[in-house]
Structure 1
Amino acid sequence: MIEPLALRMAQHIKSVVPDHPASVAVLQHALAVLLNMVFITGLTLVISVFTGHTREVVTIMAAFAFLRQMTGGLHLKSGMGCVAVSTLLFTGLSFIVLDHKWTMIATIMSMLLILLFAPAGIENQTRIPPKYFPLLKVLALCVVGLNFYFSDPVTAVSFLSQTILLINFRR
């Protein structure tokens, strides 16, 4: 559903502005990424209003997205699959409640996974040269490590879920 909608939008843009420098394929890809993000965010927020976990969901999505930019992770092939899985993940995570001990354990586990696997699968997803990937790992460790100070269980759960997606089981 996302890809055909993005294609129709790209074709419309190209018909209105035929001399636009981007091809239909490039526009389609950019629009698919944007639509994916809008659908995930919108659907998750709507569900969170009904569950009463909006604050948790916003924190989870922000922490997840921020860390994902530095570490990468698993990508699904289908845009709608990504919307469904991400929405279920963020909504489900908003119901998890950790005490201080488990918040610290989740933070330590996230840092270990970053040490072992980050960055993962970002080679074709970023313009950052590979020589800076070790810096991304250090930055990700610092970001996650801040949770030792803040001790936020919602952020710890979000970080842990993101870092689990760094593991490539196909290796």
Structure 2
Amino acid sequence: MNSLAIKISAAIKRANPEETCSEEIMQYALNIILNTLLTITASLVIGGLLNNFTETLIFYICFSILRICSGGFHLRTATACNIVTTLICVLTPFLLNFTGSSLWIINAFSLIIMFLFAPNPDKNAQIPLRWFPGLKMASIALVGFNFIIGSSVIGLAFLIQSLTVIPWKGRLKL
């Protein structure tokens, strides 16, 4: 993806050198966009092939929205992130289904984690501290909403994302 981002940013710069930002900034932004598109596309294609398209889409959307609000740790490389995210989004709703008290426990566990640790943004995010209370409240509200909806897929998405917010010591580096 990085080489594609380099080629695209160079082409944009050549087409309009006066009104564009630096190639490095465009490469960075394009890497994020291209990697996100790759992960979404791969997840939905695989989910569709496994007859699990809707659940994969719901999982991906809920996981992503909560991640925007709550932050969480990042893997070392974009490739690792792409692979792990795709596998989580496709396999988790396909393999696991919780109902009743199990779903309630998952929701409660996620809610407690958000209350204790959210937001936990990436050190490079540069989010102003004054936004943290709002991000915490948004994270808590999102997780709390699943007590009303009662969706196993949403509960699992929130659980997996909430685990990334915990500031584990000596965490596995991929």
Q: TM-score, normalised by structure 1?
A: 0.93
| 1:155 counterpart residue number | 154
Q: Deviations over 1:49-79 (max 9, x none)?
A: 1111111001101101111111001112312
Range 66-75 or range 115-124, more displaced: 115-124
Q: Deviations over 1:79-121 (max 9, x none)?
A: 2211111101111112111112111111001011111211112
What are the equivalent positions in structure 2 for 1:38-53 lying under 5 Å apart? 38-53=37-52
d(CA) in 1 for partners of 2:104, 2:46: 28
1:124 deviates by 2.8
2:28 is matched by which residue type in structure 1?
H
* Displacement over 4 Å in runs of 4+: none
Does 1:18 find its partner at 2:17?
Answer: yes
| 1:98 counterpart residue number | 98
- State percent identity of aligned pairs: 29
Question: Gaps (5+ residues) in structure 2?
Answer: none
Range 60-69 or range 11-20, more displaced: 11-20
d(CA) in 2 for partners of 1:122, 1:72: 7
| 2:68 counterpart residue number | 69
Question: Gaps (5+ residues) in structure 1?
Answer: none
Query: How many corresponding residue pairs?
Result: 169
d(CA) in 2 for partners of 1:47, 1:90: 10
1:12 deviates by 1.5
1:156 is matched by which residue type in structure 2?
G
SS of the aligned residue for 2:111 comes to helix
Does 1:80 find its partner at 2:51?
Answer: no
Q: TM-score, normalised by structure 2?
A: 0.91
C-alpha RMSD of the superposition: 1.4
d(CA) in 1 for partners of 2:77, 2:24: 16
d(CA) in 2 for partners of 1:13, 1:85: 31
| 1:170 counterpart residue number | 169
d(CA) in 2 for partners of 1:10, 1:20: 13
Contact kept, 8 Å, 1:3 with 1:79, in 2: the verdict is no
Range 39-48 or range 11-20, more displaced: 11-20
d(CA) in 1 for partners of 2:123, 2:76: 16
